[in-house]
Structure 1
Amino acid sequence: MVLTGTCHMSTKHLLILNSLVFIILGTYIFKMFDFPLMPDLRSRISKTQNDDDQKYYDIIRIMPNDAQLYKSTKQAITTNSWLGDSYGSEEPLYARSTCPTPLQNQLGKLDWPGGKFLPSVPVLLWSQHATPEVYARLAPHHRSMGWYGRTLSDVSEALQLLKEKENRVLLDLPSNKRPQDNHCITCAVVGNGGILRKSAQGKNIDAHDYVFRMNAAIIKGYEQDVGTRTTHYFFSRNGLGNAKGLYRKAGFTFPPISNETRYVFIPVHDKDYYLVKAVALNRLVDKGPDISKSVMFFFGTTVNAKKIKMMHPDFLRYLRNRIMPKKNLAQKKPDIYRPSTGAVAIFAALYSCDKVSILGFLTENSNNFSSYYFDRTYSKYTYPADHSFTQEKTLWKRLHDAGVLQLFTRSDAPVWLANP
């Protein structure tokens, strides 16, 4: 009995020892001969490591006929590498401005909480970004910050349709409407804050070269206060759905519609890419929760593919990491917090326009006014958990005081009880 038990134990130990030997030898042989197993995965891993450890940047061509291409430069990482504080580098959208006093010079002189101001961070996504290299760099980042959980094919099918010049630049009005040389391009970014109610800012807003709006941009009945024009409407698929559901009774059924209106997607979910594809092809959505829904369902009209633009995850991640980083961001889930749609629109304007006015955004006395200019009774604004509106409010005042933008403020008595 003793001998049998001893032999049994020895055999067991021998099996364990043999397993360890095979593992060690296998690892050594794999490294020695560098077997090309799973090349796609290996390429993706090396690209991701290159992004984090060596600050990898894509060199993106801006226009097919551009003679000069802006090359990438190494930029210091200011936050934990898993936040993705490294970005592509492109020719700035304002590079062709003829304004003698571009505001971007002022932006570069300011101190930013998350690190250096980067004028060449890419703002828009288009067909040139539909590559395995860009995918590998963006795949680790969640929600609007990258392509985590999305397939390269889903992303590429949408982006390859954004191949026109109009998809690559933010300001693309017809030549007969573009400002003349030496003219400083003016942009008004119009929020939905109650401060605009009875403000009589409509004509001032419409006088700008470009007018940006977002979310529940209700115009009918409020033209004297908020104007009539919309050149750019910023939204995400979920944000648009929420606005249609929450503010239908207030008058919001579809985004603004006009010949000059462009639709700027903020891609938070897969649904945004599926909708871009449907809009560009003028077909039903063919995948995801919105499958079989028409473009008319979302926009109330068909939309020409040239009128579509899409924000680049690099730009959105850059805003979160450097321009308005939330306290203890590295200790919190980074995929939850993101700048608001209004903040994205404001910085898109700051990266494209020469003079920027923002109206309908939070000010120091915002509580004097209702949440929205279309409210029938007073309602105090509530702050969603995924944004930091207190921080944004402070930033708008700081930029106003620095002369970078013009923030609309009011010091008169509350007007929320007045009839529309």
Structure 2
Amino acid sequence: MSSISLACSSSNRTWVVFTCIYRSLCSRMTKLRFCLIPFFVLFLCWNLLSSSDDWITVFERAALESQESWIETDNIEEETVPACSLRNTVNKDNNNKKHFKFKVPVFQWRGTFTHATFEKLQTSPLPYGWKELDHDVIGKTLSLLWHSSTSRLFERNTSHECVRCAVVGNGGILRGSGQGKLIDSHDYVFRVNGAIIKGFEKDVGTKTSFYGFTINSLKNSLSAYHEDGFTKVPRYPGIRYIFIPAEIRDYVMVAAAIQGVPVPSGLDEGDSPSDYFGDNNEFRMLHPYFVQYVTNRFLNSPQMEMYRDLYMPSTGALMLLTALHTCDQVSAFGFITDNYKDFSDHYYDKVHRELVHYANHDMMMESLLWKLLHTQKVMWLYQREIKKG
């Protein structure tokens, strides 16, 4: 189920493995790089003539695991889950079991901020790490997320409770779908970006438990979809806001929001967080480890190489992957399906708009991943055919 194998041919995968291993060696053993070149040239040529996908997969996996070997914390016990949990489905499939790592921390808080973690994350840029970020800024923000509850989305009532989550994207497939009641029947509902509900209750439901965003996507949504009805961020009793740390401004906004003060510096200087979140103080923040892990394991697109400073999984993808690592059963609504061109970009579009593919996300790779996980019964993906004629 490798993300690379979803998008690349056998020879392209071999090249990815070659470059990963070679870069890793070069960074550690500069003196050996020239003597290793002939070996790797022979290695590459041999693989171009070979059709052994299993052999390639072994090296591909080794490259990924060498990059992430320090992410898992050995002293964290895997959570006990009920019989209904998707984790049991994952563990029955050897390939899935090797990709899913449920010990990787999903959220960051004061307890995750250590000197060792800071040093390791200094090697990766946002949103995958803290490269070139000020220690005091990160430390101050995470010190405000002081309670261990901020490391979790919710508390289970019992170990046998089956937690069902719906993740609602904004795809046009939901317009006229009549899925509102089914969405609301879930224990928790995730929404993202321009999550317009008024006027679309029958199709998208009314419940919102978690709202995920970056500050950039939040502000862009308020600007781009204002005329469509997205005039403010969802506000409901008990709602929890999930920050994706794509930029330093996300850390600065979280700190200001928790303290109830205007943003002191940066692009959002002077903003009042209460204008966005009201008096709510329930904030969560994805861990850079988690963003790095799900990107490497599931959505390691070629665009990551071509547009290294831009690429990251979409907000919807990160929320869906968050749900898959925290909930027992996950249903996805409003995400791209095979026939996405039959629908408008968003369910609230007043006129039909084609989905635009930008360099910062690989929407097609994401759609392939959802389809695969649906087929493997790890999650359920809402799909719909348009009746023609």
TM-score range, shorter chain: 0.7 to 0.9
Q: Give the drift of 1:291.
A: 1.5
Q: How does 1:236-255 map to 2 (within 5 A)?
A: 236-255=214-233
Q: Tell whether 2:369 aligns with 1:391.
A: no
Q: Which residue number in structure 2 is paired with residue 364 of structure 1?
A: 338
Are 1:190 and 1:360, in contact at CA under 8 Å, matched by a contact in 2?
A: yes
Are 1:84 and 1:141, in contact at CA under 8 Å, matched by a contact in 2?
A: no
Higher helix proportion (structure 1 or 2): 2
Q: How does 1:284-295 map to 2 (within 5 A)?
A: 284-295=262-273
Q: Give the drift of 1:293.
A: 1.2
Amino acid at match of 1:117: F
Aligned mates of 1:105, 1:118 — CA distance in 2: 13
Q: 1:179 to 1:207 in 2, by over 3 A?
A: farther
Matched position secondary structure for 1:372: coil
CA deviation map 1:313-356 (0-9, x unaligned): 01101111111211385x54534221111111111111111110
Amino acid at match of 2:95: D
Q: Which residue number in structure 1 is paired with residue 95 of structure 2?
A: 111
Q: Tell whether 2:177 aligns with 1:196.
A: no
How many residues matched? 331
Q: How does 1:220-299 map to 2 (within 5 A)?
A: 220-299=198-277
Amino acid at match of 1:128: G
Q: Tell whether 2:303 aligns with 1:303.
A: no
Identify which of 158, 171, 174 aligns with 2:154. Answer: 171
Q: 1:126 to 1:152 in 2, by over 3 A?
A: same
Q: Which residue number in structure 2 is paired with residue 87 of structure 1?
A: 71
Q: Give the drift of 1:88.
A: 3.7
Q: Tell whether 2:315 aligns with 1:341.
A: yes
CA deviation map 1:368-388 (0-9, x unaligned): 110100001101101121111
Q: Give the drift of 1:186.
A: 0.3
Q: 1:385 to 1:86 in 2, by over 3 A?
A: farther
Q: How does 1:207-218 map to 2 (within 5 A)?
A: 207-218=185-196
Aligned mates of 1:253, 1:169 — CA distance in 2: 29
Aligned mates of 1:167, 1:243 — CA distance in 2: 26
Are 2:144 and 2:255, in contact at CA under 8 Å, matched by a contact in 1?
A: yes
Q: 1:381 to 1:153 in 2, by over 3 A?
A: same
Q: TM-score, normalised by structure 1?
A: 0.74
Q: Tell whether 2:283 aligns with 1:324.
A: no
Aligned mates of 1:413, 1:375 — CA distance in 2: 20
Are 2:109 and 2:148, in contact at CA under 8 Å, matched by a contact in 1?
A: no
Amino acid at match of 1:290: D
Alignment RMSD: 2.5
Aligned mates of 2:126, 2:243 — CA distance in 1: 13
Q: Which residue number in structure 2 is paired with residue 126 of structure 1?
A: 109
Identify which of 269, 287, 290 aligns with 1:312. Answer: 287
Q: Give the drift of 1:410.
A: 0.6
Q: Give the drift of 1:166.
A: 2.7
Q: 1:88 to 1:182 in 2, by over 3 A?
A: closer
Q: Tell whether 2:63 aligns with 1:78.
A: yes
Q: Tell whether 2:190 aligns with 1:206.
A: no
Q: Which residue number in structure 2 is paired with residue 412 of structure 1?
A: 386
Q: Give the drift of 1:91.
A: 7.4
Identify which of 144, 151, 158 aligns with 2:134. Answer: 151
Are 1:93 and 1:170, in contact at CA under 8 Å, matched by a contact in 2?
A: no
CA deviation map 1:128-154 (0-9, x unaligned): 122222111101111211111211100
Q: 1:332 to 1:133 in 2, by over 3 A?
A: same
Q: Which residue number in structure 2 is paired with residue 59 of structure 1?
A: none
Q: Tell whether 2:359 aligns with 1:401.
A: no
CA deviation map 1:223-281 (0-9, x unaligned): 11101111010101111011111111111122210112100000010100000101111
Are 1:92 and 1:122, in contact at CA under 8 Å, matched by a contact in 2?
A: no
Aligned mates of 1:91, 1:343 — CA distance in 2: 28
Matched position secondary structure for 1:259: coil
Amino acid at match of 1:224: K
Q: What are structure 2's unaligned runs of at least 5 residues?
A: 1-23, 29-60
Aligned mates of 2:344, 2:358 — CA distance in 1: 16
Are 2:127 and 2:246, in contact at CA under 8 Å, matched by a contact in 1?
A: yes
Q: Which residue number in structure 1 is paired with residue 145 of structure 2?
A: 162
Q: What are structure 1's unaligned runs of at least 5 residues?
A: 1-48, 54-75, 173-177, 415-420
